[in-house]
Structure 1
Amino acid sequence: MSLTSRQDTPESLGIELLRDIRTVWPIGEPTVAAAELVKLLRAVEEMRWAEHRGNGLTARSLLQFLRQFGIHSHNKEGANVYAHADLADDALNGSNLRIVYQSISWQPRSRSKLDHATLRKQFRRL
């Protein structure tokens, strides 16, 4: 069964996206450009985002997923960026989401065995 054949709700996909963002977020970076975040998410083979809806995750679809949780991009020097602080546990709307989100580690998931050096190599190939 392919990853995209499951019957996922927008909220469950959003939770998965939040988990994956925590996995790929560059250590020590307070902000990440939306376009870079999309590339990082699409670069990891274990994640569904390169094939999301047949064409892969886009900056627009990222915005739509995150907006449901009250997370919005900011304009910084002409680029849309996401702030790490906006993804903090206490910044999220809704207590149910906060409980789920607090259980998501900021470390890569054990099954993916990812490290940031590997992610950067994959990102440079794009």
Structure 2
Amino acid sequence: MNDEQAVQERDSVDILFFDIGDSLYGTDASQVLRIDRSLPDDLTLPGLGLPHRGHRAIVFDTPEGEGHLKVDAVHAVRAIPLNSLRRMPPTAGAAPYAVGVCLEEARAVLLIDLVETARTQGNQGRH
């Protein structure tokens, strides 16, 4: 790796983009353990919308064990420059799992914290 690549890697974060219903979301890919098939008791969060099909689950680690968020589609992981990410201002009154936004293909994408989604739902979903 050359110096320029090292700087780019240090100045970016890998974001996993996925759909729930008609909405596109993103999360820090380092939180994701794997993508799996969903089961009926997997986590859904009305604030994010309900999945149309929900055949997939994003699996992530929580203090209580694995959490599984039901999603419709997983698109890609992209390195997003830190200067393209915006933190959610506390005055926005957003849910605790909404940590920020970024632009992806000319769309504003809500960035969520997976562990906080599990806390918001009272740690529902398989463990």
Do these two structures clear the TM 0.5 threshold for a shared fold by scoring above it?
no
Query: TM (normalized to structure 2)?
Result: 0.33
Q: Please identify which structure carries the higher helix content.
A: 1
> Of the two, which has the highest radius of gyration?
2
Query: TM (normalized to structure 1)?
Result: 0.33
Q: Please identify which structure carries the higher strand content.
A: 2
